[in-house]
Structure 1
Amino acid sequence: MSRTPQEEANLKLVLDMFAQVLNPMDSGAVDRFISPGYIQHNQSVEPGVASLKAFLDMIREQTPKAVHDVKRAFVDGDHVTVHYHVRRWPDDLGWAVIDIFRVENGLIAEHWDVMQDVIEGGPNPNSPF
């Protein structure tokens, strides 16, 4: 199945956002990727762009070596889904995360996510990645 040019652009936008915003925790780059009317669906996070910027600044200060290691990404129309491994510290097992983004007019307009702890020694030998 091939992607449309718009899907390619949407996927590139989201992956570039990971590279330029999430991995470096660069709140100054947010406006290049996130719509001013950004809708956040994570109920543990305050809505809006300002709270996203504040969150990035807090994480950068508390855990400057945090990593968002993308394992796979999918695009379907205006939605991009990214499965990745978050580690806040170098020796942290971290979380397995799936983000869903909706892109509108060349910017990320909406976000949903689900997270689970990565554990050692569980009953399932398969990696979450």
Structure 2
Amino acid sequence: MTTQNDSAQNKSIVQRALAGLVETGDVDALAQFLSDDFVHHRPGSVPSTRREWLAAVRAALVPLVGMQVEIHQVLADGDHVVVYSRRWLPDAGPEIAVVDIWRIDDGLIAEGWEIIEPTAQAAANLAWWEPARR
């Protein structure tokens, strides 16, 4: 059985992991919070191992120097922590909304899921389930 204390501790782990990355761009600050068997998932792609995902994060940061990140919500329930953020590039680059779900195991982030939506497409995605107009 999980407690509110477990949720608070897991939320703190994720907040500390992301703070190092967001504030300094230091991927190694994030890496220390990941388990050796960490797996990252995105819709429509093959899951990434810890090594593969960290390499992708490093590569993504190079062209995105100056990326702005605003974390709007961090919610925790037991071993899962959900983070909602908005991110954009300098010079009026595209803005995205991101939901990350992290699973904590034995004090480390063991698994992550990420959903990304360009905010410019958000309105079109609100009605995807409606029948096509004839």
Deviating more after overlay: 9-18 vs 56-65: 56-65
Deviating more after overlay: 22-31 vs 93-102: 22-31
**TM-score when scaled to structure 2?**
0.78
5+ residue gaps, structure 2, are 125-134
Letter in 2 for 1:81: V
Q: Distance in 2 between matches of 1:40 and 1:20?
A: 19
Any idea what SS the aligned residue of 1:91 has?
A: coil
Q: Over the residues paired in the alignment, what is the CA RMSD in angstroms?
A: 2.4
Give the structure with the larger helix fraction: 2
In the alignment, is the contact (CA less than 8 A) between 2:40 and 2:53 conserved in 1? no
5+ residue gaps, structure 1, are 124-129
**TM-score when scaled to structure 1?**
0.81
- Runs of 4+ aligned residues of structure 1 deviating over 3 Å after TM superposition are 43-46
1:73 to partner: Cα distance: 1.2
Q: How does 1:1-129 map to 2 (within 5 A)?
A: 4-42=4-42, 43-44=44-45, 47-119=48-120
Letter in 2 for 1:14: V
The alignment of Structure 1 onto Structure 2 pairs a total of residues equal to 122
Percent sequence identity is: 23
Any idea what SS the aligned residue of 2:90 has?
A: coil
